[in-house]
């Protein structure tokens, strides 16, 4: 075998190893991407703070587990994003929860001797981002007939997110104070859980 034929043979062997290595690398990458498909039912979330039962989730209330980069979240199926859904049970900070712990309708538990009253938030579009379950608010229209009411839930339409209501827990006496006026503002207090 001459020197040039040996070099030709070594060159072909070297090219064959590189091509084979490239094909193996592509096959491994393909398998990784194919296996990276995430089932929404297996996706978990980690609470970033203590969250009460009935709490309406915002993007800053949880992180994905496993972590999903913010740019990739818009590729998730809508059922995998818990934003706007409500917790069935209270969750401590750093506790994992999943789709089975969420509901699209809030849990509204009214205390004994109290009543639920709905207030439209159409003139206060920023308020659903400021208050949530167990927040405390005042109800005012010139004067403030109700100085400290607990928020039971924030109810927003799935089709029109700007169409929101605050469900407040009132005493029957507080509710009687509201009969004469129709336009009220709901004002957050410092006792907020948010």
DSSP secondary structure letters along 138-172: EEEESEEEEEEEEEEEEEE-SS-TT-EEEEEEEEH
What is the rounded CA–CA span in Å between residue 84 and residue 153?
A: 12
Residue 161 is predicted with a pLDDT of 64
Residue 168 is predicted with a pLDDT of 92
What is the rounded CA–CA span in Å between residue 123 and residue 165?
A: 11
DSSP state of 55: P
Q: Which residues in the chain show pLDDT less than 50?
A: 192-194
Could you give the 3-state DSSP secondary structure of residue 13? helix
Query: Pseudo-torsion of CA 110, 115, 116, 119, nearest 10°?
Result: -140
**Domain 40-103's class?**
alpha beta
Q: In the chain, where are the structural domains located?
A: 1-37, 40-103, 114-188
Contact 117, 153 (CB under 8 A): no
Return the closest-CA partner of residue 127 out of 141, 114, 138: 138
Residue 120 is predicted with a pLDDT of 87
Residue 129 is predicted with a pLDDT of 83
Return the closest-CA partner of residue 151 out of 51, 72, 55: 55
Could you give the 3-state DSSP secondary structure of residue 186? strand
Residue 50 is predicted with a pLDDT of 93
Instruction: Give the number of other CB atoms < 10 A from CB of residue 145.
Output: 18
Residue 95 is predicted with a pLDDT of 94
Residue 47 is predicted with a pLDDT of 94
Residue 192 is predicted with a pLDDT of 43
Instruction: Give the number of other CB atoms < 10 A from CB of residue 31.
Output: 10
Residue 38 is predicted with a pLDDT of 58
């Amino acid at each position: 075998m001459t020197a040039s034929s040996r070099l030709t043979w070594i060159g072909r062997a070297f090219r064959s190893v590189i091509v084979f290595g490239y094909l193996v690398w592509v096959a491994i990458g393909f398998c990784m991407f194919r296996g990276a498909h995430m089932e929404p039912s297996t996706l978990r979330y980690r609470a970033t703070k203590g969250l009460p039962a009935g709490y309406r989730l915002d993007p800053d209330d949880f992180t994905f587990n496993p972590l999903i980069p913010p740019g990739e979240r818009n590729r998730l199926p809508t059922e995998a994003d818990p934003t706007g859904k409500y917790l069935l049970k209270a969750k401590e900070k750093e506790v994992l929860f999943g789709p089975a712990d969420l509901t699209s309708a809030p849990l509204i538990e009214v205390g004994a001797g109290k009543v639920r009253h709905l207030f439209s938030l159409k003139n206060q579009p920023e308020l659903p981002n400021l208050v949530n379950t167990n927040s405390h608010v005042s109800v005012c229209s010139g004067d403030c007939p109700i100085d400290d009411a607990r928020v039971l839930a924030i109810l927003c339409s799935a089709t029109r997110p700007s169409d929101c209501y605050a469900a407040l827990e009132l005493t029957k006496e507080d509710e009687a104070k509201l009969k004469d006026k129709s336009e009220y503002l709901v004002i957050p207090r410092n006792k907020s859980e948010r």
